[in-house]
Amino acid sequence: MSFLKFFPLPVLMGLSLVLLMPAGLTAQEANKKISITVCATDIVGDLNTLHLASGGKPAAKTFKWLDIPLNVFTVSQPIEVTGPRTLNFLATATPDSPPVASIGLPGDASSYLLVFVPNSDSNGYRIIPIAEHDFPYGSYFLVNCSKVRLAVNIADQKKLLKSGEQANVPGANGKSQDVSIHASIHDEVRLIRSTRWQLDENQREVVLFYSQPGTDVVRSKHIMAMRAADAKPGR
């Protein structure tokens, strides 16, 4: 069963912001640089590599197409985009191609991790944006896409997450940590997982929780990101 079927539509709508590209760009917008990294919870059909325009309108000398590869296991290396904060990802590198995913980047950060989640109609993606400054290396980023409330305990750190909520939790710099996850199901608190997680200072991990359709089961999807080999700790 495809991963996209596990996400209730209201949760996805709350986690993503879908906007259309403005008709015209100011010079300042056209020259604005944004850094993105990407990953996906599942791949829609053959949409494993998307295309993104960078550098203004197609007639501009600075214009170019960027290939955006999606991976369900790891996060991509940083990709620099020049242009407005509304990003339209296309199936083909042609200006008249309709977008299969769009996002208006929230806030004013200069770098983001974009998590692509297949739409319920299986014809494109919704995007969960995570500002890089909210997700340092050596930490976990938790996203509750399930229909229930969760309590995630990592060592002595407890996070309470309603449906649609997110939280960042630091790891223990290479040390293994006890993890327990409880869910409030039919007004009953249930232990749904007891395990151990481990991250070092050059790793970070996105953990998405989702409800399995037709059941009370809450599952999780883990996507790992590694620090670039030439990057120093703290970046």
Bridge partner residues of 69 (DSSP): 49
Mean pLDDT of 210-235: 77
111-118 and 125-131 beta bridge pairing: antiparallel
Looking up tokens 């970046």 gives 235
Average pLDDT, integer, range 50-71: 88
Give this prediction's pTM: 0.80
pLDDT digits (tens, 9 = 90+) for 66-77: 999 999 998 999
CATH topology of domain 136-226: Immunoglobulin-like (2.60.40)
Under the banding of pLDDT at 50, 70 and 90, the label for residue 29 is low
- pLDDT higher than 90, residue 20: no
Predicted local distance difference test score (pLDDT) of residue 5: 53
- 144 CB-near residues (< 8 Å, 6+ apart): 150, 161, 162, 163, 164, 165, 166, 209
pLDDT given for residue 43 in this prediction: 94
Model confidence band, residue 95 (pLDDT cutoffs 50, 70, 90): confident
Greatest Cα pair distance, the chain, in angstroms, is: 61
pLDDT bucket at 141, cuts 50 / 70 / 90: very high
CA dihedral 50, 33, 84, 53 (to 10 degrees): -30
| 4 SS3 class | helix
Residue boundaries of the structural domains of the chain: 3-22+29-133, 136-226
Give the pLDDT score at 55.
87
Contact predicate 31/59, CB 8 Å: no
| Band of residue 21 on the pLDDT scale cut at 50, 70, 90 | very low
Mapped onto helix, strand or coil, the DSSP state of residue 107 is: coil
Give yes or no for a contact between 43 and 123, defined as CB atoms under 8 angstroms apart: no
Residue 175 has pLDDT above 60, yes or no: yes
Task: Name which of 17-21, 44-48, 69-73, 205-209 the model is least confident about.
Answer: 17-21
How many CB atoms sit inside 10 A of residue 101's CB?
28
